[in-house]
Amino acid sequence: MLTRRLSDVIVVGAGVVGAACASYAVGAGLRVTVIDRGPVAGGTTGAGEGNLLVSDKAPGPELELSLLSMKLWTDLAGGLPSRIEYEAKGGLVVARDAAGMAALAEFAARQREAGVEAVEVPADRLNDLEPHLAAGPAGGFHYPGDAQVMPALAAAHLLRGCGEHVTLRLGEEVTAILRGASGEVRGVRTSRGEIHAPYVVNAAGVYGGELARLAGVDLPVLPRRGFVLVTEPLPRVVRHKVYAADYVANVASGSAALQTSAVVEGTPAGPVLIGASRERVGHDRTLSVPALRRLAAGATALFPVLAGVRAMRTYAGFRPYLPDHLPAIGSDPRVPGLLHACGHEGAGIGLAPVTGLVVARCLTGGEQPLDIGPFRPERFPSSAA
């Protein structure tokens, strides 16, 4: 059997999280092999809107992770903003009525205490930010720190920046995690042979649970399907990422049922992206007409001008969901040499740089930039218990 010894670490997954893990590992002086069953950004990353958000996160571990990651994204984008379509456009969350506005105000107050910039916008000033926004909302909050990238471009440029220190193995599925006599990681077996390295990083997205099982551990990652509608190219009708307040509740929900909330944003290329839906249906990619109707209705309620615009296409993606809505990041004490970087759900693009940094520090024994205890991979009870 073909055996390759090329690297210090193997990263399984060539989405934006895996690309960031490779980038920061290379920056720490390591040689990396990245393996993916498909192309770069061929899974969740390629189906994402590219959101870099703090506006939807309550105070706690994920918000701390997000605030640091936003700073890292700013640094990463500094040299190539146009190449990855980085846009620090900010977000606008709107409330339908006075009760919703009161809830938003309470949420924003707690976020401010955690370091988030959130600016209240009364109803009569909403159109200053979004001229085409419908009349009727009771007000909203503007989050200047929210931003957007083109996720597939971001993943590609992170990997390209690794130069000769990264080896890409695309279209190659991992079929086994190789273990030594003491249970330690020795590498992986793929459809094309064996690759040896003392560390394996599980950045396999919605397949993260399956990869963990190959190593003999349980990580309850589940796919959570979502659809995005894409309009024809338009002048800049929508200036920010604009969403209804119920989006925050849907993000935090653990329900398997279909949930939708209006999320609308323009892009530098012209098309408007319309979401967001969430449901747990396994890996079923079947087009859901009810979901698309609800997305279209929500978008036109926020922006009536979109009622006369053509939807050019729609696509589905799967968010890698963990039951407590926190990613699994770091070394797995159950298998020496195994690390995880998955389960980010809809926040993976935003959290990619900080995930890469944490993983690189785990690999090199460096000081962590924040408390990573809440993200420990072994925190879930085993399904066999």
What gap in Å lies between CA 146 and CA 273, rounded to an integer?
16
Handedness of CA 10, 14, 18, 19 (dihedral sign): positive
Distance, in Å, from the CA atom of 270 to the CA atom of 258, rounded to the nearest integer, reads: 29
Residue-level pLDDT at 5? 55
Q: What is the pLDDT along the chain (385 residues), one digit of tens a residue?
A: 344 557 999 999 999 999 999 999 999 999 999 999 999 999 999 998 899 999 999 999 999 999 999 999 999 998 776 789 999 999 999 999 999 999 999 999 999 999 999 999 999 999 999 999 999 999 999 999 999 999 999 999 999 999 999 999 999 999 999 999 999 999 999 999 999 999 999 999 999 999 999 999 999 999 999 999 999 999 999 999 999 988 777 677 778 888 998 999 999 889 999 999 999 999 999 999 999 999 999 999 999 999 999 999 999 999 999 999 999 999 999 999 999 999 999 999 999 999 999 999 999 999 999 999 999 999 998 754 3
DSSP tag of 383 = T
pLDDT value at residue 385? 38
| Beta-bridge partners for 84 | none
Q: What is the pLDDT, as a whole number, of residue 269?
A: 87
Question: Token pair of 49, please?
Answer: 């809107």
Structural domains of the chain, ranges and CATH numbers in brackets: 3-47+152-220+324-379 (3.50.50.60), 90-144+222-321 (3.30.9.10)
Q: Is the dihedral of CA 365, 221, 50, 202 positive or negative?
A: positive
The predicted pLDDT at position 59 comes to 97
Token pair, residue 321, equals 């969901």
pLDDT at 3: 47
pTM: 0.95
For the chain, count helices (H), then strands (E): 9, 20
Question: Residue 151, by phi and psi: left (phi above 0), alpha (psi -120 to 50) or beta?
Answer: alpha
